[in-house]
Structure 1
Amino acid sequence: MSDTSPAELDALTRQLDRDHVFHSWSAQAGLNPFVVAGGLGSRVWDYDGRSYLDFSSQLVNVNIGHQHPAVVDAITKQAQTLTTVAPATANLTRGEAAKRIVDRAPAGFNKVFFTNGGADANENAIRMARLHTGRDTILSTYRSYHGNTGAAIVATGDWRRIPNQFATGHVHFFGPFAYRSEFWSTSPEQESERALHHLERVIQSEGAGTIAAILLETIPGTAGVLMPPPGYLEGVRALCDRYGIMLIFDEVMCGFGRTGQWFAFQGYDVVPDLITFAKGVNSGYIPTGGVIISDEIAGDFDTNVFPGGLTYSGHPLAMASIVAALDAMEAEGIVTNAARIGTDVLAPGLAALAAKHPIIGEVRGVGVFWALDLVADPETREPVSAAVMGRIKSELLARNLLPFLSDNRVHVVPPCVVTDAEVAEALAIYDEVFGLDLLG
């Protein structure tokens, strides 16, 4: 298509999409998707060459940035060596990828089960917990997203589970969220205490002996970057220990640099029994995910067959991308950069926006993982309408910023490689848009 003009390429892309692509979580007829022709670092562009700051990281997964040369090169070289191999075989690249992952995990985690993404990572972690405990029930929060497969979508707490509730053995509870507390708390400490009391009562009411695992996003992402209040995660760990329940941390979105740590739970004094991952482990360059398994649980399957598997588990191209991504993130200080950007640039910059614009009810986050909770009334904390959010999205795109919006929130989630100058550019765009008469 070397002779095809940019306008023709744009039109062809839109036509093919409209005619043949079925989009997720959408009514199809009215769709007009944003067209991405290419990207590099923290930017993407369309066929006309118009460049956008990608402050969505696509689906909060492009942690290393677009088209990192080391990762692209590793995928290319692996494709020239061995493009695919069955999961039952031993493959050097797969072993190297697993080793790099467990090297960043806590002591006592030495095995990785590779999956095709985050949903089936959670699916298999649930399976492992049930087999290990001999129990069935999985507890998870209402404000959560764990993927769109059988058990993962029912473990999800938001509206997306409701038309998909075919799996059994799932119970939901309210996690902490001090800004919109379910517990009438007046401080983060009180929110933590009351949320833990609520969780223990759910455990007792459901019957502790029936509960296999508590599945938590360490920091709930799509639900609003809900930062755990002091003592909460540690308290959940204590409840799990008290009642013989496994603790699964879903690090699919918050893991591998997003919070300025290799894993988000490393910012707290807690270690789970199973860790699920995807997204940031290779920035989504090739679909992959997995479960990092504690030695105790992995030992169950030394002589017992694990009843699960995937044709593309540990796919060589995905494994090569993991090796290259984690090596580059280490060598280039990318996780450290995410932590510094969060502390020194985003935290003060977003706080200044909130002080200036009453529509920003609360700023929450860490590293390059932030959310602006937008309100129609700062006193009542009434969320802004979908119409307001639609206008905000349009205004941000008009100023060359690609946003991530969910419900009444703007999520500020650039790649971990984002620079100070790029954050300053984005903050200026947010400032201009929030200064408009959005509620009028």
Structure 2
Amino acid sequence: MSSTRAAPVFTVVMATYNRSHHILPSIQSVLRQSLTDFELLVIGDCCTDDTEKVVRGVADERVRWLSTQERWGTQSGPNNTGIAAARGSYIAYIGHDDIWKDDHLRNHLETYRKTGADCVVSGLVADEGAGPDYIWVLGLIDGPDAARDNFFPPSSVSHTKDAAARAGPWRRPDETELAVDSDFQVRLIDAGGHFASTGKISVFKFTASRRYLSYLFKSSDEQNALLEQLSDDPASVNVDEMVEHAKRNDRFMSATNTSFANVRQQSLKTRGLDLPPLEPLGSIHMLRQDDDARGADWHGLRKKNRGLRFAGPNAIARLLLPVTSSGPVRLSMRLCVLDGADLSQIRFTLNDTPVQPKLTRLRKKKIGRLWQATFEGELKADSYSFLKLIHPPDQMVKTISKRPTGLGVGTVILWPADTRHPAGPVLSFASRFIRI
């Protein structure tokens, strides 16, 4: 951007890491703003993919690419770089996989002029990717004091440059007990920042920390679909209905700034940024279920049934296979089918290739019916593979409490397809790790 160009009203800061062309829907939602007087700074956190090339290829002089000097592993570094380079009177943030409605910046500017605030927040819908019962509605505060008690993600926030100077830079995760975005929000308030809400929902957040392996197996299908819907028929995006769902499920304005303290490591695991090491497949490989964070794809490990995890609430449950192989493999796993699950309606894919498992019915246990699923397929030779268990949405359950419903998965066993491992004895051994 030319230095002679007049300073814009808004500087929009978009922190990113290895989002490649999947960043484009978020960029487009900014470029479609009805208030056009802004610059968009896309700041890479030392990206190692082609995100820079993709961003520089956007044919709009308002878009600039910057990069941090070192890898931060969090939005803090890119946000600080963006604030330092900002030319606008107001600084707004948008996540690299979030979407704004086209009136977002206009709503913020009108709120600044009406209220005299130096920090503004919009209503935001945070979508966990598991259906309407798993959305949050945040940012609709009813007064400046409510900003301290309620958390709202940065994609819904803007502030003056002066407010940022008073608050100081975004901190590293090891410098605060809060999540870095909560910490910055609280410090804006402590530095005298006066928050006001637009009172309108104009932000849609696709919560990466609830989308299992979202940084490993990237997709922008949801963002593109929403962007198209907002363009073709904005009224079809029924935010009133979303608010009602959120209120019904106690997800309306119920997130606090302490809700997400000390969750960074869990979030890294969920998003696929902290992975187990890849291992070549030997004669046999056993993957027992653990209680690692898996977002909305899997419920937690059941204490009464060690080694068994139930799918949901997401209708697509992904299972990571940190194993490589240059040839075909056989895979077997124990399934536990409970009330509400029809095994014949559940589809299986391996690296997005459909597979048809051979299902063998085993003895019935107190908790449900056991099956053995066995099939053959191809693992990736130099990267992580994944299984998908795809359920009809009406089979997924909201919660698992005293007695679960749905489909549970136990130990997964892999071996080369050209060897003749006795699957029955192997699985009998594996079943010792599952008390059902």
TM-score by length of 2: 0.23
Structure (1/2) with the larger strand percentage: 2
Bigger radius of gyration, 1 or 2?
2
Structure with higher RCO (Cα < 8 A, 6+ apart): 1
